[in-house]
Amino acid sequence: MVELVKKAQKGSKQAFLSLFQKYEEDIYRMAFVYVKNQNDALDVVQETAYRSFSTIKKLKEPKYFKTWIIKIAINCSLDLLKKKRKDLQLKYEFEEYIAVEIREDVELEITLHDLMENLDEMEKSVILLRFYEDLTFKEIAETLDIPLGSAKTILYRALEKLREKIRVGDDF
């Protein structure tokens, strides 16, 4: 993979495309958690491709390509959310989950989605990077450009918020 990154940094579009395709699903999943709809998540994937392709020469450590591109995806997601808030002055509305028969995994997905809504953006990012992307604390700190101790503190604080929300049994 390091060789592919080096080729992409030298201008190989094919090498970059191969790298991007390898992580495209991860980028989409990360974006979807933030923007909460398919079209916006696809826009984030596209913007991530553009930004990463245009700045890949700045990547100092090729072995951290995945961490680097996920950070770009998070930033693109947050930028899109900021833009939507400005442009549309969004009102927070509950998503409708309409189903005659609700399967257990759908209920679990709704519950996890709603639980994540109780976290601020940094807490969401740390949770997603730790449990969805399986990054180490060091990689999380580098990705989010925060101190290592802060990454740990934010994770534990977020987990405590989630536990408290479950204990209290609030309606989601």
Give per-residue pLDDT as tens, 30-78: 888 888 889 999 999 999 999 999 999 888 888 889 889 998 999 899 8
Number of domains in the chain: 2
Looking at 93, 128, 147, which one is the last position of a domain? 93
Predicted local confidence at residue 168, as pLDDT: 67
Query: Closest Cα to residue 64, out of 5, 144, 145?
Result: 5
Cα angle 65, 154, 86 (rounded to 5 degrees) comes to 75
Give per-residue pLDDT as tens, 102-158: 344 444 444 566 677 778 888 888 888 887 777 889 888 888 888 999 999 998 888
Predicted local confidence at residue 99, as pLDDT: 35
What pTM value is reported for the model? 0.62
Q: What whole-number distance in Å separates Cα of residue 44 and Cα of residue 76?
A: 6
| Pair 148, 138: CB distance under 8 Å | yes
Looking at 93, 124, 146, which one is the last position of a domain? 93
Instruction: Give the CATH number for residue 140.
Output: 1.10.10.10
Predicted local confidence at residue 37, as pLDDT: 87
Domain hosting residue 57, numbered range = 1-93
